[in-house]
Chains A and B, each alone.
Chain A
Amino acid sequence: MSTLKLTNLSKRFGGVVASDDVNLSVPAGKIIGLIGPNGAGKTTIVNMITGMLPVSGGHIHVGDTDITHAPAHEISRAGLARTFQNIRLLGEATVLENVMIGFHRHETSSTLAALLSLPAASSETAALKGRTLALLAEFDLQDFADYPASGLSYGHQRKVEMARAMAAEPDFVLLDEPIAGMNDVESDALAEIFQRLAANGKGVLLIEHNVRFVAKMCSYVYVLDGGRLISEGTPDDVLKDPTVISAYLGDQHHA
């Protein structure tokens, strides 16, 4: 089983240190939490892992493969998928098209076949459409397949984005605040999906504000503040850690 591993990962924007010697690992089949107050540098870490921000120092490995400086599309091909903190769906496209593009890295028909729409390419498109519909059914979205994605409710858009990430059949999933702005019923439905992912052997990195949700979901939690890891361990231990409490609530509450 492979592991997503960050070693001494650092990011500096000019003089600002957004991430400082972060060591973190996400083993396959586990849900790992990454929490921290606003501006702690959580999204910076996701952006570095997925190749959207250049890394200033340290290393990122998937199994034995070093992906520290690989371009974003190659990192996806190494088996990483992500969702975005502010949902990013293709506004002009339908729900079906939005999820179908997730299969991109598994498409095998040649460019020539695609250019001339040879039977190989057409049948692949038809097969992908079938798989997309099956995936939508898994997320209970089949009724919305032909609707423009931009017209869906917030909770449904989140699920579409999740389905798109799943279509890529990643080994590791990075979820950037997936339940932000959701009610309990919606977040419970997603929690079930996350647990299923881990049960299927995928490593999940859950970035969240909602400490309660993280405590419920994760087997191991890292706490980030000011770009630095200030605590790690099981949810129970971490939430009792005085440094974590003061990072969230300030020092005066600590006594």
Chain B
Amino acid sequence: MNGLVAGYLPLFDIYLIHLGLAFSQYIVLRAGVFSLATAAFAGIGAYTAGIFAVNLGLHPALGLLAGTLTGMAAAIFLSVPLARLRGVYQAIATVAFIQICLSLNIYSENLTGGAMGLNNIPKTVGTGTLFLFAALATYLIWGIERGRLGRAFNTIRQDEAVAASLGINITRHQMLAFAISGALAGLFGGLEAYHSYALDPNQFGFHLLITTLSYVILGGRNSVVGPLIGTAILIILPEIARPLAENRMVIYGIMLIVVINYLPKGIADTAIDAIRARRLKARGDAKS
């Protein structure tokens, strides 16, 4: 039994890290920003944390803090030009941002190790730490969802004119969503750095973008449960059916197409809607 649990622990670690990244992607979509920059923010956080440990020999707590703050700073910086764009143009701009970060990373060989990556990072983060931060991130997102910010984000996403006419400052709220997204991605990028000994620049490219986006689209975009479920399914699936693991990206692509067509709200949101509708119907029946 113990052997079984230990065997799946690395998978659980990956789940916890990717959950944080999924929430980073989730929160911007929630606020009506079609940003895909999570992969870039994660890279910035991971490399900052890595450099703090390897080049400067600083304590991992400091490295994580620095990773979080640089991720957040990059996000706030990016939110200024993005505030002028909408929809697919935001997506294109953020994909370009990922490419820029990737290129800068490869060129600044002295700092980041360039294409060779950053190696010999001391492993200081285990399952316990990951679990703690994943739980905190879940709490943060859950709290936002049921409070003032969640209400404002929902309104902006659905109708900006209504939001503005009710006194919601759209630019400020979207910048806040960006800051949270950047901080989460930076933090979990840093955790990834301290968990896996080495960083490779291509780890934070197009591949990670598709992965994090898939978690949210598959799971659901409008409830905290969405990323929890989406990430779990997409991480476990290739392990259950081993032959699938080879073609992970193909599977992701097919699942996305199927989900977008048949469950456009994602698994969790569709289920929540169905439960809610049944409850309302039961109440209506009881009344009449």
Q: How far is the CB of A190 from chain B (nearest CB, A)?
A: 19
- Bound together, the chains give a CA A121 to CA B147 distance in angstroms of 7
Q: Which secondary structure dominates where chain B touches chain A? A: helix
Contact B140 A115 (CB under 8 A): yes
Contact B158 A90 (CB under 8 A): yes
Which of chain B's residues have a CB closer than 8 A to the CB of A111?
149, 176
Q: How far is the CB of A154 from chain B (nearest CB, A)?
A: 18
Tell me the A73-117 residues at the B interface (CB within 8 Å).
73-74, 76-77, 81-82, 84, 88, 90-93, 97, 100-102, 104-105, 107, 109, 111, 114-117
**B285 located at the interface, meaning its Cβ lies under 8 Å from any Cβ of chain A in the complex:** no
**A168 located at the interface, meaning its Cβ lies under 8 Å from any Cβ of chain B in the complex:** yes
A116-B143, A147-B280 as given contacts; A121 in contact with B165, CB under 8 Å: no
Which of chain A's residues have a CB closer than 8 A to the CB of B222?
92
Contact B154 A168 (CB under 8 A): no
Most buried by B among A51, A77, A100, A115: A115
Q: How far is the CB of A74 from chain B (nearest CB, A)?
A: 8
Tell me the B186-212 residues at the A interface (CB within 8 Å).
none
**A39 located at the interface, meaning its Cβ lies under 8 Å from any Cβ of chain B in the complex:** no
Contact A101 B149 (CB under 8 A): no
A114-B148, A125-B147 as given contacts; A92 in contact with B158, CB under 8 Å: yes
Q: How many residues on chain B are close to A (CB under 8 Å)?
A: 30
Q: How far is the CB of A178 from chain B (nearest CB, A)?
A: 15
Interface residue from B147, B165, B167 paired with A114 (Cβ < 8 Å):
B147
Q: How far is the CB of A227 from chain B (nearest CB, A)?
A: 22
**B146 located at the interface, meaning its Cβ lies under 8 Å from any Cβ of chain A in the complex:** yes
**A30 located at the interface, meaning its Cβ lies under 8 Å from any Cβ of chain B in the complex:** no
Contact B166 A164 (CB under 8 A): yes
Closest residue of A by beta carbon distance from B269: A92
Contact A116 B140 (CB under 8 A): yes
Q: How far is the CB of B258 from chain A (nearest CB, A)?
A: 22
- Bound together, the chains give a CA A98 to CA B161 distance in angstroms of 14
**B170 located at the interface, meaning its Cβ lies under 8 Å from any Cβ of chain A in the complex:** yes
Which of chain A's residues have a CB closer than 8 A to the CB of B139?
117
- Bound together, the chains give a CA A85 to CA B143 distance in angstroms of 35
Q: Can you list, as one digit per residue, whether each of A160-181 has a CB less than 8 Å from chain B (1) or not (0)? A: 0000100010000000000000
Q: Can you list, as one digit per residue, whether each of B113-152 has a CB less than 8 Å from chain A (1) or not (0)? A: 0000000000000000000000000011011101111011
- Bound together, the chains give a CA A122 to CA B142 distance in angstroms of 12
Contact A104 B166 (CB under 8 A): yes
Contact A97 B143 (CB under 8 A): no
Q: How far is the CB of A176 from chain B (nearest CB, A)?
A: 11
Which of chain B's residues have a CB closer than 8 A to the CB of A102?
166
- Bound together, the chains give a CA A84 to CA B160 distance in angstroms of 13
Which of chain A's residues have a CB closer than 8 A to the CB of B165?
50, 52, 72, 76, 81-82
**A242 located at the interface, meaning its Cβ lies under 8 Å from any Cβ of chain B in the complex:** no
**B168 located at the interface, meaning its Cβ lies under 8 Å from any Cβ of chain A in the complex:** yes
A52-B161, A125-B146 as given contacts; A76 in contact with B167, CB under 8 Å: yes
Tell me the A29-60 residues at the B interface (CB within 8 Å).
50-52
Most buried by A among B147, B152, B161: B147
Most buried by A among B162, B166, B180, B276: B166
Which of chain A's residues have a CB closer than 8 A to the CB of B161?
52, 72, 84, 88
Q: Can you list, as one digit per residue, whether each of A110-141 has a CB less than 8 Å from chain B (1) or not (0)? A: 01001111000110110000000000000000
**B155 located at the interface, meaning its Cβ lies under 8 Å from any Cβ of chain A in the complex:** yes
**B233 located at the interface, meaning its Cβ lies under 8 Å from any Cβ of chain A in the complex:** no
Interface residue from B158, B168, B280 paired with A73 (Cβ < 8 Å):
B168
Ordered by A's residue number, 16 sampled pairs between the chains whose C-beta atoms are within 8 Å are: A52-B165, A73-B164, A76-B164, A90-B155, A90-B162, A101-B152, A101-B154, A101-B163, A101-B168, A104-B148, A104-B152, A115-B180, A117-B139, A121-B148, A147-B280, A164-B166
Known: A52-B165, A71-B169. 4 other contacts (CB 8 A): A91-B158, A104-B155, A105-B167, A125-B146
Which residues of A line the B interface, CB within 8 A? 50-52, 71-74, 76-77, 81-82, 84, 88, 90-93, 97, 100-102, 104-105, 107, 109, 111, 114-117, 121-122, 124-125, 146-147, 164, 168
